[in-house]
């Protein structure tokens, strides 16, 4: 597996990988903006995208994993964990944050095993599904 910054040449393959982007114009536009901003990273297996993630610094100046999505056929193979580890290793702030829905048990488990701790929640983003905030202190 190789993890690298995404380029605009990856755009169509990342849209195909992302189950939301396939039917959501706003998500496709956001993905393109992340790629153009240089904040989108792609995990490839045999030169094919398996997952992508976005690392920004808009969260009170801290690193923030804004998006992490793994293609359906690549789930439960450690690719999401590898992207999180990549972001931990490349983050330039002393704290790294991310969020996930309370209903997303798989992402919560991934974050906890990657050393993140719960740090609160945000209500009213998705109806009846609070957003859980996680963070990790970096060396």
Q: Does the pLDDT of residue 54 top 90, yes or no?
A: yes
Residue 138 has pLDDT above 90, yes or no: yes
Rounded CA-CA distance 40/54 in Å is 4
Cα 85 to Cα 13, 91, 116, 134: the distances in Å are 23, 10, 11, 14
In 10 A of CB 59, how many CB atoms? 18
pTM of the shown model: 0.94
Lowest mean pLDDT among 35-39, 72-76, 96-100: 72-76
Return the pLDDT at 22: 86
Residue with tokens 């690193």: 63
The count of C-alpha atoms lying within 13 angstroms of the C-alpha of 42, restricted to the half-sphere facing its C-beta, is 26
Q: What is the mean pLDDT of residues 73-85?
A: 94
∠ CA 82-85-43 to the nearest 5 degrees? Answer: 35
% the chain with pLDDT above 90: 96
């Amino acid at each position: 597996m190789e993890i690298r910054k995404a380029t605009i040449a990856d755009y169509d393959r990342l849209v195909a990988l992302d189950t939301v982007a396939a039917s959501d114009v706003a998500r496709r536009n956001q993905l393109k903006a992340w790629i153009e901003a240089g904040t989108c990273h792609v995990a490839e297996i045999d030169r094919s995208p398996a997952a992508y993630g976005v690392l920004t610094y808009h969260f009170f100046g801290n690193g923030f994993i804004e998006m992490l999505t793994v293609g359906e056929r690549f789930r439960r193979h450690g690719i999401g964990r590898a992207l999180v580890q990549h972001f931990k290793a490349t983050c330039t702030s002393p704290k790294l944050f991310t969020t996930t829905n309370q209903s997303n048990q798989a992402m919560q488990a991934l974050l906890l095993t990657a050393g993140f701790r719960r740090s609160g929640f945000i209500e009213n983003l998705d109806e009846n599904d609070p957003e859980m905030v996680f963070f990790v202190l970096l060396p």
